[in-house]
Structure 1
Amino acid sequence: MAYKARLREFDNILNKDIIDLEDLKKLAFTGIPDDQGKRAICWRLLLNYLPTEKSSWSTYLKTKRDLYRQFIDEMIVTPGAKEVDGDVEDHPLSMNPDSEWQTFFKDNEVLLQIDKDVRRLCPDISFFQQPTEFPCSVVVNSMDVKRLHRRVERRVLKSANVERKGMGMTKIALSFKKANEDYAPMDEGQEAHWEVVERILFLYAKLNPGQSYVQGMNEILGPIYYTFASDPDATYREWAEADSFFCFTNLMSEIRDFFIKTLDETQCGINSMMTRMLVQLKNSDLDVWLRFQQLELRPQYYSFRWITLLLSQEFPLPDVLRIWDSLFSDEKRFNFLIYICCAMIVILRNQLLNGDFPLNLKLLQNFPPMDVQIILSKAVELSKKGF
């Protein structure tokens, strides 16, 4: 009965002509029902993608989704014979900065890392290896021209090792390695969910050249795309790719400092966040804090990944979705992440106080399975005490 009452509370907010974001945040903070598409629509609102005026949704979404299709057409460069500067034919060896071949080769350097990361996304579930029911027609019908993973096919990787002894001749040893991943090829006209994630990340890197792609962004995008691509409402599910791109872009604009090394020491940088976590830990449990100081167990060894990836690698996907309900609803935008990290440590206090450096590090880097609600409740308790 309580669950049905909770669903009605969400309906009361979401069915209004103007969505009250403050009311939605308060309700969503304690968890969003994952059926009937509630989580998907709430995340679109909480990540500042959908406007609060419902009457504008149809026009707004069409504009955004058309724009994303334009990105696919324009950003995924298809090199071929063309004139550059009106008189020089474009070709793979062209040194002209406007050459599409130059762009193609440069893009492939970024694409190689993206491809490697998305293939191993959420390995404990099969979702990302399954075909999407809404493949991008522009891509699957393009005779492989726009299928990104084909550009960096990883069935066989060739590498050259250069060896030099004294002043003698250089020896170049060629080696061939097979990729670890072995995925069954999709049927004609299909594409896997990981291919869609790869395309989103590639376009993000192209549109944000100052930041480009940084390893770990795939772990941020994965839960968003999974939520949207699993929406029970097919009219929304069909546009999961475009909507995920814009929600991911909005989220990255808030946490981008975590991924930029030159901003590590800024107020919103990763080092500042880890320092804040230690201060909170000292206030919450002085004994554990002292034990960490004694062992020289620095937050960089465990909490760097926790904070940077919003805990997406520490828990099973359903738990990550529940945690993100609270993070996206946080009035102070990710302050609650600090409390969750502290709660994770405090809950393990007995083991941490009795463990040595190797045991404690292993425990923190491989957080034991438990009911995530226990952690969230503890985090709420810590948040009420404040910094």
Structure 2
Amino acid sequence: MVKSVPEWLNSSIWSTPNPSSDDRLQRYATKPSEETLTLKPDPIPPPQRPDKAAIAVPTPHEKAPPQHADKAPIPVSTSHEKTPPSSVEEPETLDSNANLSPEDVDRRARFFSELSRKVIDLRELRRLGSQGIPDCAGLRPTIWKLLLGYLPNDRDMWANELAKKRSQYALFREELLLNPDTEIAEQIDRDVKRTHPDMHFFSGDSALARSNQEALKNILLIFAKLNPGIRYVQGMNEVLAPLFYVFQNDPDEKSAAHAEADAFFCFVELLSGFRDHFCQQLDNSVVGIRSTITKLSQLLREHDEELWRHLEVTTKVNPQFYAFRWITLLLTQEFNFADSLHIWDTLLSDPDGPLETLLRICCAMLILIRRRLLAGDFTSNLKLLQNYPSANISHLLYVADKLRARARARAHSSV
């Protein structure tokens, strides 16, 4: 008897027909005129789509144990500046109270207090997480799992839920990795090897990097087989990477040993909110990527019409040429890795889902460099936006939150 795919993974949201090819990321990175030929090219190559034949889930047999990856220290960000790839070093372990302000110590205490409850108040956890999660004692991996709905808010249910999900993933590995689609497998392999080439955790020929690359490939292959409507699209590896990194670096060795399984289910949950951005045939629909980019344009016009007019009317910088990558890859390519994790803390903490917060952050990114943009022409502005400058992430998130407060105040005053 063929074991059915869990209902939540067999949802119609994954059933959109799959086109044979899609040059999504390259379309919006391509320069529209000769004057931009000297600009830095978008580092993400065009995605390739596999054929759209559905793959049935084979009959399960014995459970296969999950793969264990080598351990790595929890990262610490000591600077908000992006480090050139040629000089990037692995972050040091952050597990002490050194250089912490009283406010930071208090925030840690609030997180630990909330997580110690029998039934965790997710509303309070989201409020705390929206300001960033401290890099200590496994807070982020546990909180991300809660925010993504992978862990229930009742702590007494954790052991049972984790056992079920991890057992299910072991079956997926056993059944779906036996005969992977060669074309998809080769593309995933190429993309995974290009994931964060500046980090030893993901890149290189060490046992650690090889093990982590194998885990990423497994997750993406299984996802592609379980979701024949969307399968694998280039760029998914970049969205998966932060999840796996955070879970694999959990100081709780038992949890870290199941990072692959945990990252898979959290990846599915996260991508469900952005799934339509990866479907080319939905580009012009109300849920497609162009509609989302239009929302960003409207948001900028609402908060800074002068900047919007200069970009889109005067210099004719189409937001698709920079915002496509910002949105589809959830800003993983615009900032250094540690800062990206901080941004994701805020994205995942939004009770309405990460998209609205993502658009506000993107709008704040434009506003923070408005002077340079207002002084620039088409070529210089496009180059600046495709290679966003170093930023203070805490200030960026502060500005994004102010945009939310301003929008709410306007809505309230109009009632």
| Same-fold call, TM cutoff 0.5 | yes
Deviations 1:21-54 (A, max 9, x none): 1111011000111210100000001111111111
* 1:152-171 equivalence runs, <5 A: none
Deviations 1:173-219 (A, max 9, x none): xxxxxxxxxx43749xx942111111111111011111000000001
Structure 1 Cα separation of the partners of residues 221 and 242 of structure 2: 17
SS at match of 2:202: helix
Structure 2 Cα separation of the partners of residues 230 and 384 of structure 1: 35
* 1:149-188 equivalence runs, <5 A: 183-184=204-205, 186=207
Query: Who is 1:174 aligned against?
Result: none
Structure 2 Cα separation of the partners of residues 5 and 185 of structure 1: 39
* Equivalent residue pairs, number: 305
Aligned equivalent of 1:299, options 281, 298, 319: 319
Quote the offset at 1:373 in angstroms: 1.3
* 1:4-23 equivalence runs, <5 A: 4-23=105-124
Quote the offset at 1:331 in angstroms: 2.2
Deviations 1:298-333 (A, max 9, x none): 111000110111111101110100000000011221
Structure 1 Cα separation of the partners of residues 340 and 151 of structure 2: 22
* 1:88-103 equivalence runs, <5 A: none
Structure 1 Cα separation of the partners of residues 205 and 158 of structure 2: 39
Structure 2 Cα separation of the partners of residues 3 and 290 of structure 1: 40
2:354 is aligned with 1:361: no
Aligned equivalent of 1:122, options 196, 208, 211: 196
* 1:167-246 equivalence runs, <5 A: 183-184=204-205, 186=207, 191-246=210-265
Structure 1 Cα separation of the partners of residues 351 and 304 of structure 2: 25
Query: Who is 1:318 aligned against?
Result: 338
Deviations 1:98-133 (A, max 9, x none): xxxxxx5xx01111111111101112211113xxxx
SS at match of 1:128: coil
| Percentage of matched positions with identical amino acids | 43
Deviations 1:217-255 (A, max 9, x none): 001000000000011111111110000000001111111
More strand by share: 1
Query: Who is 1:168 aligned against?
Result: none
2:90 is aligned with 1:69: no
2:296 is aligned with 1:281: no
Query: Who is 1:371 aligned against?
Result: 392
SS at match of 1:127: coil
Structure 2 Cα separation of the partners of residues 29 and 264 of structure 1: 30
SS at match of 2:214: helix
Instruction: Return 5+ residue gaps in structure 1 as ranges.
Output: 79-103, 130-182
SS at match of 2:229: coil
Q: Post-superposition, which runs of at least 4 consecutive aligned residues in structure 1 deviate over 6 A? A: none
Specify which structure has the bigger relative contact order, considering alpha-carbon pairs within 8 angstroms and separated by 6 or more residues.
2
Structure 1 Cα separation of the partners of residues 167 and 210 of structure 2: 20
SS at match of 2:117: coil
Letter in 2 for 1:200: I
Deviation larger for 51-60 or 360-369: 51-60
Letter in 2 for 1:57: W
Letter in 2 for 1:374: H
Aligned equivalent of 2:290, options 258, 268, 271: 271
- What's the TM-score once normalised by structure 2's chain length? 0.71
Query: Who is 2:278 aligned against?
Result: 259
Structure 2 Cα separation of the partners of residues 344 and 356 of structure 1: 18
Deviations 1:348-384 (A, max 9, x none): 1111111111110000000011211121111111111
Distance 1:200 1:49, change over 3 A: same
Query: Who is 2:54 aligned against?
Result: none
Structure 1 Cα separation of the partners of residues 285 and 269 of structure 2: 20
The alignment's C-alpha RMSD in Å is 1.5
2:366 is aligned with 1:345: yes
Structure 2 Cα separation of the partners of residues 40 and 338 of structure 1: 24
